Structure 1
């Protein structure tokens, strides 16, 4: 483990709101209106619920959405408690200009999981929340106009190597429509170090017909997390 960073064993549950997604991916209303949206490794985020409530079309995919999802939701409160405690211990390293305080950050996580839970239970038979994980997702090719992946790829670079990331990006490209785009945030690991293979990944994307840009994120919090990767097809 680096001398700095966020301590985490295994993949943590992401649990963020519509507003946070708009900020971290610099999303505009026109981005949401172009077609079907996919949130990859969505965890307990309420983004999909809130997008659909606004009249757009979104699907979420996560390996937690299989059998036992209700038990996982009931355990989410404990994970939020644990993550809040870890953040509190190193809070001086974070930028609090958006969240304001550790308490507000935690309240946002709790509100997101509650909104997520209500939507999952209300829509359990509507194929909005799909059990699946990278690098192979259960979707047909060329389906989605906008694909988002928050706080999974690159963040766990020490657990998932470059081969995994290459395969995962190719899979996202497979299910993205021509003219569509993929956005991935952040571009750092849990050690707060830039993803070391990003240049190689960008070269691979170009070789497979994609174009890349680095966009500016508007969600100040994690050190060195001011950009996201945009892949255009």
Structure 2
């Protein structure tokens, strides 16, 4: 099989994914989130939190991207769309376009998502919903969230952050999840479109605290097909 060219990225990009992309990507049913507390980690300028809050769902997002002047954050996200869209268009032959249709539609979805995010982000005067925070330390009490999502950060940047960071990050997500709560992570490939070599080892290490499973993602795009990792926090820690 011909190896696909790696995505050219320095540092961590801030993404602007839409609410609908999150639903398809993670295989979540929004109607089942009523009455639950939800966290989007490394959410960037995605509209997921804004849309959930508009439906009356108790949703939060955490990302170091949120620090500083709010208009400047939105402007930076807009520039990131310019940059990422150019990269995607230049590499369009490596992606699966069965959902997005074209690079142009992919960009339009990003732009619409940013506008939804910007309205909500700038209206949150007290900063309660969008916290400038990063893994492996989050400013939330233990056993808080029914559902935690992490899109296009953990494992995607595996070459940059390494195994020790990922173990600490997963432990932190499990700490913040309530017993019986779920953590969903996607994709499980690197920016070089390769499987993460230490994923199974991490799952073995965390087996006392979480039940791991994999579910299909309904958002085809990345060159190497990936499942969604689901970690369900155990209600009683097992003794190993």
Per the TM superposition, whether the score is higher than 0.5 is yes
Moved >2 Å (runs of 4+): none
2:10 corresponds in structure 1 to: 9
What residue number does 1:45 align with? 46
Map of 1:188 onto structure 2: 189
Give the SS at the match of 2:153.
coil
Please say if 1:74 is aligned against 2:103. no
Q: CA RMSD in A?
A: 1.3
Structure 2 residues without counterparts, runs of 5 or longer: 234-240
Question: What is the distance in 2 between the residues matched to 1:221 and 1:153?
Answer: 17
1:44-123 mapped onto 2 (5 Å cutoff): 44-123=45-124
Rounded to whole Å, the distance in 2 between the matches of 1:225 and 1:23 is 14
Counterpart of 1:150 in structure 2 is 151
Q: State the SS of the aligned residue for 1:100.
A: coil
Q: For this pair of structures, how many residues does the alignment match?
A: 231
1:83-127 alpha-carbon deviations (Å, 9 max, x no partner): 111111110111111111100000111111111010011122250
- 1:141 partner SS: coil
Shift of 1:67: 1.7
Q: In 1, are the aligned partners of 2:35 and 2:58 still within 8 Å (CA)?
A: no
Question: Structure 1 79/29 Cα, relative in aligned 2: closer, same or farther at 3 Å?
Answer: closer
Q: Identify the range of structure 1 (81-90 vs 2-11) with the bigger mean alpha-carbon deviation.
A: 2-11
Identify if the C-alpha distance between structure 1 residues 178 and 64 changes in structure 2 by more than 3 Å, giving closer, same or farther.
same
Normalising by structure 2, what TM-score? 0.93
Asked if 1 retains the 8 angstrom alpha-carbon contact of 2:4 and 2:223, the reply is: no
Q: Structure 1 unaligned runs (5+)?
A: none
Moved more, 168-177 or 117-126: 117-126
Q: In structure 2, what is the equivalent of residue 200 of structure 1? A: 201
**Cα distance in structure 2, aligned partners of 1:34 and 1:183:** 19
Deviation of the 1:76 alpha carbon: 2.0
Q: Distance in 1 between matches of 2:119 and 2:109?
A: 16
**Aligned residue in 1 for 2:180:** 179
Offset of residue 72 of structure 1 = 2.3
Distance 1:78 1:179 in 2: 39
TM-score (norm 1): 0.95
